[in-house]
Structure 1
Amino acid sequence: MTSDTRTDTREDHAPAAGGGKDDGETKGTVLIALLANVAIAIAKAVTGALTGSPALLAEAAHSIADTLNEVFLLASVPLSKRKPDAQHPFGYGKERFFWALLAAVGIFVTGGCFSFYQGLHGWLSPESDASESFLITYVVLGVSLAAEGASLLRAVVQLRGRARSHGRSLFQEVAKSTDPTVRTVFAEDATAVLGVLLAAGGVLGHQLTGAPQWEAGAALAIALLLILVAYLLGRSARDLLVGQAVDPRLQQEAYEMLAEQKEIDTVAVLLTMRLGVDSALLAARVDLHAGLDSEEVEEVSERIKRDLRDKHPGFGEIFLDIVDADRDERARAHARKQEVDRAVEEQDAQQEGPPQQ
């Protein structure tokens, strides 16, 4: 591009990716998990206090943590849908990522740390006068397992639907989904089911051997499980909050669409960042062919943005910067494009079908 004209254009546009149905399903999934956890948290806490069971008390802390987290997650859905304003020109989409991070912290502090304390205390100072009425403990654990299993099934159904639409397996969807709300509920429910089974194993060991350390050991195992899950969820939420690029295939499609424009000579830089569950930002520096005046540059920029948005409505914010790319910038642009292509190839090798964004 020989002209020294530079433009940095922006058009406010609400994300067109339809998240209404998904948000309704997400609210339903979180609400079911919340109602289940309120009931079983009370049952576990009361029974644990009466029996002195460290495993049951650890599970009560686990359910309380999940209950508080689901309140956070339920509130995050409408908060993330608020319209952009002067203080938040890119909207509030990352609210959902923030509350997911708080949920991970809640799992660690309320669930993991308290469970670890209960397990350590029960191991070092077993209650000699602890109740050995195991029947009520088994009943509470059985009801908890049924409630947690039903909630987990709801989360699995929603995730499977999304996985099919994205051409992924269930576990790939859990790992790569940009909606931390359903992923957190799935992780909490799966952990809760495992926690109930660990607690039941500890109670059974206590019943068969007469040694309360079995329940303390179960509480310690539950604590380690919760700490691990909290770390994984927290790391995922952190990546989204810091600023995570969109799926490599979507980057590749944006690259190719820009490169196909007859006015563009080189796509020097293409940057993307997720602004929310169903919206993202795209910023590109492009070198145009010589011979365009400033008015033509403006028209070309607007048309390219419109075409990008029509094909990928999830790009709610699109910036184009017109530059004169030198030889070094062209070489770096080619290397960056190859990195994206390799990422897509690796992604395709890990799954049966390409993801659809």
Structure 2
Amino acid sequence: MSANGGTKAIVAALLANVGIAITKFVAFLLTSSSSMLAEAVHSVADSGNQALLLLGGKRAKRAATPEHPFGYGRERYIYAFIVSIVLFSIGGLFALYEAYHKWSHKGGIESWQWVPVVVLVAAIVMESFSFRTAIKESNHVRGNQSWVRFIRRAKAPELPVVLLEDFGALVGLVFALFGVTMTLITGNGEWDAAGTAMIGLLLVAIAIVLALETKSLLLGEGAEASELAAIERAVTDGPEVERIIHMKTLYLGPEELMVAAKIGVPACESAHDLARGINAVEARIRAAVPIARVIYLEPDIYSVAAAEAGTGTAADTAVPQPEAERSGG
């Protein structure tokens, strides 16, 4: 993902949510609508989430240290996980509590009755612009993937998080508008409570999806199938390597991939020739997959007998010599 694209989507969402939160709080103070309060708190939580994403992106750019030799790229995953917790606790659970409280009191909207409708319609317009920006920036990196696959497989967490938040915000606004409108029509505050409950359930569901997807990134994900295929072709596309004995990959951050492989190499006359061949392989890997920035290649001599035994390398099947022979005695 383009870091600039993610930042642009976050800033657009942050500006929209700050403005929306202010108008919703004003509407709540005038009408005492629980849907308006739930939506106002939701917008505050979203604003805080976008600030967390910006902070995580900034901290992830720190240079590697002896204590963290692979850098801080995964810090973006940590802050995205915190976002899911904030959305669940402050947004979702508060909305459910407010729905329960409103259901117990069942009061209708008795003053400034037109305010919540106007505020919600305006909020839908502003949120739509933010959602449009997130979609536009995501399309730059989504390719031919479906939206579900993009959210599940994206290694950079910012755009999927903003997409889900904006989507949840738009649907939540529709729920709030439904609850407020039905309360104005019927005079029954239970509709307002129902709209608030739907907002809470929606936010809890989105928070759970975000937490599960971010957990996978925190645990460590390997390269995609297309990236693996490109790396394998790069390794074997030359005389320096006969085959890949085994290989593992790991994302150290959204834009940094580690590749570690044991490779079968032909016999060579000197260590200089071996090192030159490995350097050539590394160059091909970086050309094929530019985010493969950390590469460890271990050369070995491939053995068919060892492969049948399950080890793959000639050194593992070498017959030990008697001690006297090894010492020259």
Which TM-score band (shorter chain)? 0.7 to 0.9
Look up the SS of the partner of 2:253 in the other structure. coil
CA distance in 2, matches of 1:130, 1:201: 14
Give the match for residue 296 of structure 1.
Answer: 273
Alignment check: 8 A CA contact 2:96 2:200 kept: yes
| Match of residue 226, structure 1, among 203, 220, 233 | 203
CA contact (8 A) 1:266 1:330 kept: no
For residue 174 of structure 1, report the CA deviation from its aligned partner.
Answer: 3.3
Aligned to 1:339: none
Aligned to 1:160: 139
3-state SS, counterpart of residue 148 of structure 1: helix
- Is the CA contact 1:159–1:170 (under 8 Å) kept in the aligned structure 2? no
Structure 1 residue aligned with 2:86: 106
Letter matched to residue 9 of structure 2: T
Q: Which residue of structure 2 lines up, in the alignment, with residue 272 of structure 1?
A: 249
Quote the residue 2:223 is aligned against: 246
Unaligned runs of 5+ in 2: 313-329
Displacement of 1:186 after TM fit? 1.2
Kindly state the Cα deviation for residue 53 of structure 1 after the two structures are TM-superposed: 1.3
The aligned amino acid for 1:219 is: T
Alpha-carbon offset, residue 94 of structure 1:
1.2
Does 127-136 or 299-308 show the bigger shift?
Answer: 127-136
Change (3 A) 1:52 1:245: same
Counterpart for residue 134 of structure 1 = 113
| Greater length-normalized contact order (CA 8 Å, ≥ 6 residues apart) | 1
* 2:105 aligned counterpart, secondary structure: coil
Matched-pair contact (CA < 8 Å) for 2:106–2:188: no
Aligned length, in residue pairs: 311
Counterpart residue type for residue 29 of structure 1: A
Q: Displacement of 1:178 after TM fit? A: 1.8
3-state DSSP class of the match of 2:290? coil
1:297 CA drift (Å)? 2.5
Q: 2:40 aligns with which of 46, 49, 60?
A: 60
Amino acid at match of 2:201: L
- Indicate conservation of the 8 Å contact 2:76/2:157, yes or no: yes
Shift of 1:87: 2.0
The match for 1:24 is 4
In structure 1, the partner of 2:168 is 191
Structure 1 residue 161: Cα displacement: 2.1
After superposition, residues 207-356 of structure 1 pair within 5 angstroms as: 207-291=184-268, 293-324=270-301, 330=307
Deviation digits for residues 112-151 of structure 1, max 9, x if unmatched?
Answer: 110111112212x124375353200101111111111110
In 2 relative to 1, CA 43–300 (structure 1 residues): closer, same or farther, beyond 3 Å? same
Q: CA deviation at 1:171?
A: 4.5
How far residue 41 of structure 1 moved from its aligned partner, in angstroms, is 1.0
Contact 1:36 1:151 in 2 (8 A): yes
The answer (yes or no) to whether the contact 2:221–2:251 under 8 Å persists in 1 is yes
* 1:103–1:304 distance in 2 versus 1, CA, 3 Å: same
Q: CA deviation at 1:314?
A: 0.8
Match of 1:147 in 2: 126
Contact 2:230 2:288 in 1 (8 A): no
CA–CA distance in structure 1, aligned partners of residues 305 and 123 of structure 2 = 62
Deviation string 1:134-185 (CA, Å, 9 cap, x unpaired) is: 200101111111111110011111112222xx33344543332222111111
Q: Distance in 1 between matches of 2:117 and 2:169?
A: 15
TM-score by length of 2: 0.87
Larger Rg: 2
TM-aligned CA distance change 1:281 to 1:138, over 3 Å: same
The alignment's C-alpha RMSD in Å is 2.2
Q: Equivalent residue for 2:27?
A: 47
Contact map agreement 2:222 2:248 (CA 8 A) in 1: yes
Corresponding residue SS for 1:84 = coil
State the distance in 2 between where 1:215 and 1:289 align.
74
Does the CA contact (< 8 Å) of 1:159 and 1:174 recur in 2? no
Q: Percent identity of the aligned residues?
A: 27
Residues 100 and 181, structure 1, Cα contact 8 Å, conserved in 2: yes
Contact persistence 1:269–1:333 (CA under 8 A)? no
